[in-house]
Amino acid sequence: MRMIRSGTNMMMVCAVALGLGLPAMAAGKPNLRDLPEIDDRMLWVAMAIEISDRCPTIEPRTLRGLNYLWSIRTQAQALGYTTSEIKAYVDSEAEKARMRARGEAYVRTQGLDPSNTADLCKLGQAEIAKGSQIGAFLRLK
């Protein structure tokens, strides 16, 4: 089984797999983007997808990634967010662009170029080696 591919849209897999998305500020709830326990976890998945999409020597751990996405959805629901509020978070073009910028910034903090495929492969290998959350979603072919 292959992880649902997003091409240039890192968060599409989340929307397709979970029907997630940006909560309205109803009832005084913060935006999901402002909750690190949600937003950071979405970033790790998005980065793993981007690495596995672009690096020919790395593949996704599909079931692990999908289970993780379901746990994010469950956590958001436990925090009081509805399915439609969650869905808005993933479907938002602004959120997709913001998430991409966060991912690219992370790659740069590692001294790598996010537009360079070899650098993404290097990052993926490093994340796998250190056992990070990003690395947990990836494996070498």
Q: Is residue 82 part of a domain?
A: yes
Q: Is residue 3 part of a domain?
A: no
Task: State residue 27's pLDDT score.
Answer: 57
| Domain total in the chain | 1
In whole angstroms, what is the distance from residue 52 CA to residue 29 CA?
34
Higher-confidence residue of 3 and 41: namely 41
Q: Is residue 5 part of a domain?
A: no
Q: Is residue 59 part of a domain?
A: yes
Closest CA to 98 of 46, 49, 62: 46
Q: Is residue 2 part of a domain?
A: no
The range of the structural domain enclosing residue 29 comes to 12-140
Closest CA to 51 of 136, 120, 133: 120
Q: Is residue 4 part of a domain?
A: no
Q: Is residue 81 part of a domain?
A: yes
Q: Is pLDDT at 59 greater than 80 in this prediction?
A: yes
Q: Is pLDDT at 84 greater than 80 in this prediction?
A: yes
What is the value of pTM for the model shown? Answer: 0.80
Q: Is residue 77 part of a domain?
A: yes
**Residues above pLDDT 70, as percent of the chain:** 81
Calculate mean pLDDT across residues 117-138.
98
